Structure 1
Amino acid sequence: MRWPIRGRGYRGRQRRETRALASSEKSPGTVTETPLCLPRSGGIADVPAGFLLQPTYRVRDGVPVVQLYGRLEDGRPFLIEDDRFRPYLFIRAADADLLRGDPRAATAESDLRDLAGQALVRVVAPVPAAVPALRDRVARAGRPTYEGDVRFPYRFLIDAGLRAGIAIEGEGTARGGLVHFANPVLAPAEVHPALRIVSIDLETEPSASEIWSIALVGDGVDEVHLVGSGPVAGAIAHADERTLLAAAARRIREIDPDVITGWNVVDFDLRVFAQRCAALRVPLELGRVAGEMLFQQELGFTREARAVVPGRVVLDGLALVRDALRLDDYRLGAVAQELLSRGKRIASVADPAAEIARMYREDPAALVAYNREDARLVLDILEREGLVSLAVERSLLSGMPLDRVGASIASFDRLYLPELRKRGFAAPSVDPERKAELVQGGAVLDSVPGMFTDVAVFDFKSLYPSLIRTFQLDPLAHALARDASFAQRAQVSRSEPKASEDHRVGERRPEDLIVAPGGARFAREGAILPGVIERFMASRSAAKARGDRHADQAIKIMMNALFGVLGAASCRFFDPAIANAITGFGQEILHRTRDAFEAAGVPVIYGDTDSVFVRLGEGRGNPSAEAKRLRDHVQQEIAEHVRGAYRVVSHLELELEGIYERFFMPRVRSGRFGSKKRYAGWRGGQLEVVGLESVRRDWPAVARRLQRGLLERAPVRARGGRRGAPRRARVRQARAQRIARSVHGRSAAARAGRA
């Protein structure tokens, strides 16, 4: 199966960035005089372009060689090798003596500074493995290092200004099924390749101690390899397991997929494949060049397992679905039934493992059909939801490989470090000993319990990115504000101060600073993230206009991840003052929004982070027209407050998310007050439930159905209706909650007894 990819329009902008990167710092001993990423005069329209799949490196005769695997737009796989680049890190110039005499370190002058304004020197290492040792030696002396933890191939791409789409200027040589480029000139490019993908599925003995069959389904292939003594319809039979494993590995190399996928393919199919090959001493090479398959585990919160195959990418269908969709059950059969309206071929049997064993012994043709369908289901799910296309768009946007687009901190580095370099700064290395600190959340307003009609929901579009853009909330801007000389370095023009209108600050604010509600200060100019977000928003608007939902979603994910990255202790730019400034401004804006609505004569019955729920009430004519009028009025009020209090232009956009014809806000259990993050509403005749038991997966299905049924039947007093209806609805809802809790308690006790 080929997956079409549409490239993004980065070429012109990134070509300019490339030239800036090439000239931003000139230090000897790092890169040869030949630029890595500078197109020849006259442009690069006539040179090959491709999509980058896997950046890695090898050390050959003591020399590190960057290796970039990918697929050209004309369909040929390629391998770029560059042996000119050297690994490096930065240390303070005052600490240069710490590495003097170390044969692994070649120190060179640098024009860069750290975020505190200290001059830096570049330390060049002979091989990537030497960088951690040099970094640790400096750390043991109690001194900081800078960018000493950036992975070597990513360092190459960052310095060259490259993401996933690249133009390759240089002579290519066909060898071993790949087009090889040695030390070419590279540049950013739009790409339009079609990736080749294959789904693999194994059927095994119940303990996975023997593989019985392997299905391969995808681009130009639809086959099942089976251990059997005679021919079987729809299968390629092999005399024993050793022959099966060797044949399947050979077929994968012949098919030459860019992407290998499956359901739980890393932790089951590929891992069992590798274990059985090792047990039977069958060489396992699935890559585009010689090399074994490696298994890794991400160090982040998810601890997600990865399989690394030379020249290819492994995308686990289960992980892609978990990341994108909220479902009750993530087993392949359940997901397929939910999304495709068809499930596994033996979905109804009580013991699938026993049935698979029976089919292998008694009906191998049925096993072959079952195996093939499981592999096909994965492809159909990914295609229906566009999950591979979404991963591609995220890769084009961030520059991360397809199997690491979910690594938000590394993605942030890929975007931020080049911009920081162009401004003359290097970033600190991550402090592995740094502990997480408290970051406050968004504001949650007290709710008003009851049944209501015509409740309008307003929310701020991309609130946290919009706050970053409006108030210059950025690591560099924060660092510049701390430095007495920041105005000169950031070229900030000063003017006469005026009294602050923000009662929370309570002091006169210098005109060249923006002071957040919590006291954190930010320079008015020099910030990086506002410009990045502005470009993202423009790209997202263009994606929406052309109907490109995958690009739209990729940009949304990237923007929404910015706050989480800045609030993570494992991020090199972590500073609770910055993260709390974002949420602090968010809290202030939410309270101001509530006040503006209520000043306009409409009550706010609930609010959470970026949303407010407003009761339009009776006698106001057309609810939709009234809601739009209120939105325009309140947005104007917020813009005037931001401009008056902080002297900045507001980029906050208040949207009318919708209007509930009926809306129910329950009380807290055994209390008089309204609950939070729990409500139900009817919109367009459809019931929407948030946070209540009927949508909680940890409650039994019977309790969820009961509550939902009562909610669907709950009456409400319409205009001129009976006044007793709201009370009866509340009584029914309270009774439903008591019954649901009782059922949940009995189910939990039963589960505990079985355990």
Structure 2
Amino acid sequence: MQRAAAKLCILGIDYFMREDKPVVRIWGKTDKGESIVVFDSGFVPYFYIEAEITPELKREVENIEIGGQKILRIEEVEKKIYGKPTKLLKVYVQKAADVSKFRDAVKDRKDVKEEYEYSISFYKRYLIDKGLIPVEWIEVRGEKKQEEIDADTVIEADEIKRIEKEGYPELRVLAFDIECIEEDDKIIAISVMDNSGYKKVLTHGKGKKTRNIEVLKGEKEMIERFADIVRKRDPDIIVGYNTDRYDFIKLTEKADKHRTKFILSRDGSEIVFKRRGRISSAYIAGRLHLDIYDFIEHILGSTLSSEILTLDMVSKELLGKGKEKMTWEDIEKAWKKRDLKKIAKYCLKDSELALELSKYIIPQVFELSRVVGQTPFDVARMTYSQLVEWLLIRRAFEENEIIPNTPKYDEIERRRKAPPYTGGYVQLPKPGIHKKIALFDFQSLYPSITITHNISPETLNCKCCEGNPKAKVPGEEHHFCLKKKGFIPKIIEELIKKRNELKEKMKHVKRDTPYYKSLYNRQYAVKILTNSSYGYYAYPGSRWYSRVCAQSIAAWGRYYIKRVMEMAEKEGVDVIYGDTDSLFIIMRNKEHAKRFLSRVNKSLPGVMELEFRDMYKTGIFVPSKTGTAAKKKYALLDYKGNIVVRGFEKVRRDWAGIAKKTQEKVIEIILKEGSPEKAVKIVKETIKKLREGKIKKQDLIIYTQLTKELGEYEAISPHVAVAKKLIESGRNIRTGSTIRYVITSGEGSISFRAEPAEFAGDYDPEYYIRNQVVPAALRVLSAFGYTEKDILEDKKKFSLEGFFRR
């Protein structure tokens, strides 16, 4: 037996069966830059039973037999259920698949009250129980193995321990992309690029081979060659854009059609598609597959101004460059002409963008993985609520708390159908232009309320604080304990403390260093989890769901924003708008704003804190269609000339570019020049250009995403009609696809006249004037008395006098 030891950074984890027993595999990279896999056969699956524990119950549970399998052993343990110490039976079984079987065998017993922790994946359970954190370092000792695995080292471990080590090893990252055409839905090219400078485009049929283009006999040979390149380049991470829902599905389907093995893994296994709600994730054993689109859709998208989350738009925002410009028609023409260089350039650019985006995305995924304690593969595909839940699950284990069960379908539906509770307080803004506006907002309002008022399911309506006015929720009949710290408030407080520590460290580190970037990504990961905690209480699928907790947090939020408004009014300053956690107040200058801020913060309890964001020279708050000011619809001009816009078409994805650009110009002219007349003139000039056919097609395209299957749409809206046309032409359209279309001239409904952007030959100017440009402009100009008739017919003049508030 050859002994071995290694220090490695954990990149992934799974398990396999050996002699009918589960063996955990830890995939990683050593401090010497070598690939490694560690086997651990010493972990046993289990679940808990809550019951009146008697010798008879223990004996009968121990004797249950299913398909020749018996329970390994049981233990009597004490854990907390929502903070209350409770005796439980811990039931150990041989295989992970046995957990649900033996749970089913005991759940209907009259003496069994509940079963717990039977639905947690075995490998996730292992990470939690062993205290191991992905993308952190461990030291292993054990027997060196000779296995048919594509790794530099294989160790059967008998000792695994965490070690302190900053950063992570240098990793090989490979990006890829595929191109298809409508003819037989054929894959015509696969591009590959890695962070060592390797680049290659694979295609098939006729054509000359060049340095970067390799021409194979057919589609089958091209797929096999791609798999061969991946195995030879031996990446630690494989990245792409929308690879879960498109590229890997297409490659796997084609490999099956050609009856060829499609092996990218390090253990010789094929891709496994793990079901996650309505979509699946492509898992490759031994290599971390990150679909950049998944992470952007679930997490990063809310921070982007990009209106659609295509590779082109996201790359333009994050990288400052986009895709090569080619339409579907251009690709098909190039393929028919065998213009392989043109196809290769287009396809390779997609891999290049994915690779460059990965430099931005991977560090963020890694830091979230460290905070949550689950693998980058899983974390990159989680929603905000799922991230919070897995953090709570790990912390529950550490606090000896039982993890509540995932709610059943009927319970989730019941929660979804519950009537909405009152959310944040909104004082509608006074329409028109205002000057000298100070913007304040509460720092992490809902998390800080959760901590300050100890809002957690197990602290609700405690006996010890009954009747204490300080514990009571404003306007509600319930209260929360002031004496015993709640499970979730404790975790949120730890997160806020951790983020403050990281931000303090950042102050003493040079901004352009790798360490600064690491600290930034870590604090951002903590921020994501902190700010998602309130939504988790109200998430119908939550294990720690509590409608009372969610509505109590909202009630405290309304209380505090009203309280600050009252303080402002007592000072004689004008509150022009308040919404949930933000306040817009007229202040003389920054010093005045900061003095007010100091007085407010001295009056706030616990960790509550109001922040002063900035002073703005002017701001527009516009009316809604009902005549009252619209919620969250404003534009601000700061003293440096920068414009901040919220709620207008400029930041929405369902309007054509011409509408957004026109509205943007209207806002700019009114804020900077104070001239609604000039703004109207700009709108009229745009209308004239539309009627003369002088607007580029690119500015007429409307983008709408398919949010469900086509058959589920009751009304045939323009984007649904276009999606059907694309499918009829052989295009691969599915839920999540972004539909690009133009409204053309002619007869019939708008939906009938909607055409795919690449096929539209003309446009209907009157549609764009009356349904896009004029409505977008009036979102702003209506605040100054303008109507559609004034813009389309002329000739009304207005002054800003009376619209300015000082």
When structure 1 is superposed on structure 2, of 405-414 and 442-451 the one drifting more is 405-414
CA contact (8 A) 2:174 2:194 kept: yes
Deviation at 1:694, TM superposition (A): 3.3
Spell out the pairing of 1:63-142 with structure 2 (5 A cutoff): 63-94=21-52, 97=57, 99=61, 101-103=63-65, 104-105=70-71, 106-115=73-82, 117-141=85-109
**1:417 maps to 2:383:** no
Other-structure match for 1:225:
202
Spell out the pairing of 1:531-542 with structure 2 (5 A cutoff): 531-542=490-501
Other-structure match for 1:168:
139
Spell out the pairing of 1:407-556 with structure 2 (5 A cutoff): 407-432=383-408, 433-434=410-411, 435-436=414-415, 437=418, 438-478=420-460, 482=462, 508-509=467-468, 518-523=476-481, 524-544=483-503, 545=506, 546=509, 547=516, 548-556=519-527
Other-structure match for 1:574:
545
Other-structure match for 2:712:
none
Q: Secondary structure at the match of 1:412?
A: helix
Deviation at 1:50, TM superposition (A): 2.9
Pair 213,700 (structure 1): closer, same or farther in 2 beyond 3 Å: closer
CA contact (8 A) 1:259 1:313 kept: yes
Q: TM-score, normalised by structure 2?
A: 0.74
Deviation at 1:419, TM superposition (A): 3.6
When structure 1 is superposed on structure 2, of 587-596 and 431-440 the one drifting more is 431-440
Q: Which has the higher contact order (CA 8 A, sep 6+)?
A: 1
CA contact (8 A) 2:128 2:397 kept: no
CA displacement, residues 663-683 of structure 1 (integer Å, 9 cap, x when unaligned): 111122242x32211111111
Other-structure match for 1:18:
none
When structure 1 is superposed on structure 2, of 696-705 and 415-424 the one drifting more is 415-424
Match of 1:380 among 356, 364, 367: 356
Distance 1:124 1:295 in 2: 28
Other-structure match for 1:7:
none
Distance 2:176 2:366 in 1: 20
Deviation at 1:107, TM superposition (A): 2.6
CA displacement, residues 32-59 of structure 1 (integer Å, 9 cap, x when unaligned): xxxxxxxxxxxxxx97443322222222
Deviation at 1:687, TM superposition (A): 2.1
Other-structure match for 2:372:
398
Matched residue type, 2:348: R
**1:702 maps to 2:672:** no
Other-structure match for 2:156:
182
Other-structure match for 2:18:
60
CA contact (8 A) 1:439 1:567 kept: no
Runs of 4+ more than 6 Å apart: 725-739, 743-746
CA displacement, residues 356-385 of structure 1 (integer Å, 9 cap, x when unaligned): 423xx42223323332222112212333xx
**1:249 maps to 2:249:** no
Distance 1:264 1:356 in 2: 24
Matched residue type, 2:252: A
Q: TM-score, normalised by structure 1?
A: 0.79
Other-structure match for 1:343:
322
Q: Secondary structure at the match of 1:168?
A: strand
Other-structure match for 2:311:
332
Other-structure match for 2:601:
635
Distance 2:432 2:132 in 1: 55
Other-structure match for 2:533:
562
Mark the runs of 5 or more structure 1 residues left unpaired by the alignment: 1-45, 488-496, 498-506, 643-649, 718-724
Distance 2:386 2:557 in 1: 26
CA contact (8 A) 2:368 2:525 kept: yes
Spell out the pairing of 1:685-700 with structure 2 (5 A cutoff): 685-700=641-656
Distance 1:708 1:407 in 2: 32
Spell out the pairing of 1:45-56 with structure 2 (5 A cutoff): 48-56=6-14
**1:682 maps to 2:650:** no
Mark the runs of 5 or more structure 2 residues left unpaired by the alignment: 510-515, 689-699, 703-717, 719-741, 756-806
Pair 418,517 (structure 1): closer, same or farther in 2 beyond 3 Å: farther
Distance 2:100 2:240 in 1: 35
**1:144 maps to 2:114:** yes
Distance 2:273 2:161 in 1: 30
CA displacement, residues 151-201 of structure 1 (integer Å, 9 cap, x when unaligned): 111111111122211312313636442422323323264442222211111
When structure 1 is superposed on structure 2, of 513-522 and 691-700 the one drifting more is 513-522
Distance 1:415 1:270 in 2: 30
Q: Secondary structure at the match of 1:329?
A: coil
Pair 231,713 (structure 1): closer, same or farther in 2 beyond 3 Å: closer
CA contact (8 A) 1:208 1:272 kept: no
Matched residue type, 1:132: S
CA displacement, residues 436-490 of structure 1 (integer Å, 9 cap, x when unaligned): 2445422222322221101111011111221122122223434xx54x6xx7xxx
**1:238 maps to 2:216:** yes
Deviation at 1:252, TM superposition (A): 0.8
CA displacement, residues 333-372 of structure 1 (integer Å, 9 cap, x when unaligned): 3444444444333x155724423423xx422233233322
Other-structure match for 1:268:
246
Matched residue type, 1:108: E
Matched residue type, 2:294: A
Deviation at 1:258, TM superposition (A): 1.9
Other-structure match for 1:490:
none
Pair 587,181 (structure 1): closer, same or farther in 2 beyond 3 Å: farther
Matched residue type, 2:288: V
Pair 579,518 (structure 1): closer, same or farther in 2 beyond 3 Å: same
CA displacement, residues 87-114 of structure 1 (integer Å, 9 cap, x when unaligned): 1111113177384631343432112242
Other-structure match for 1:754:
754
Aligned length: 653
Pair 624,320 (structure 1): closer, same or farther in 2 beyond 3 Å: same
Instruction: Give the share of equivalent positions with the same residue, in percent.
Output: 24
**1:711 maps to 2:667:** yes
Match of 2:270 among 292, 305, 329: 292
Matched residue type, 2:555: G
Distance 1:665 1:633 in 2: 27
Distance 1:568 1:148 in 2: 21
**1:312 maps to 2:263:** no
CA contact (8 A) 1:58 1:66 kept: yes
Distance 1:735 1:599 in 2: 46
CA contact (8 A) 1:172 1:179 kept: no
Distance 1:227 1:726 in 2: 61
Pair 298,167 (structure 1): closer, same or farther in 2 beyond 3 Å: same
CA displacement, residues 397-450 of structure 1 (integer Å, 9 cap, x when unaligned): 111221322344443344333443444431222221313244542222232222
Distance 1:156 1:449 in 2: 57
Pair 425,241 (structure 1): closer, same or farther in 2 beyond 3 Å: closer
Match of 2:585 among 590, 614, 618: 614
Distance 1:452 1:334 in 2: 34
Distance 2:12 2:234 in 1: 15
CA contact (8 A) 1:514 1:522 kept: yes
CA contact (8 A) 1:145 1:428 kept: no
Other-structure match for 2:168:
192
CA contact (8 A) 1:517 1:581 kept: no
Matched residue type, 2:596: L
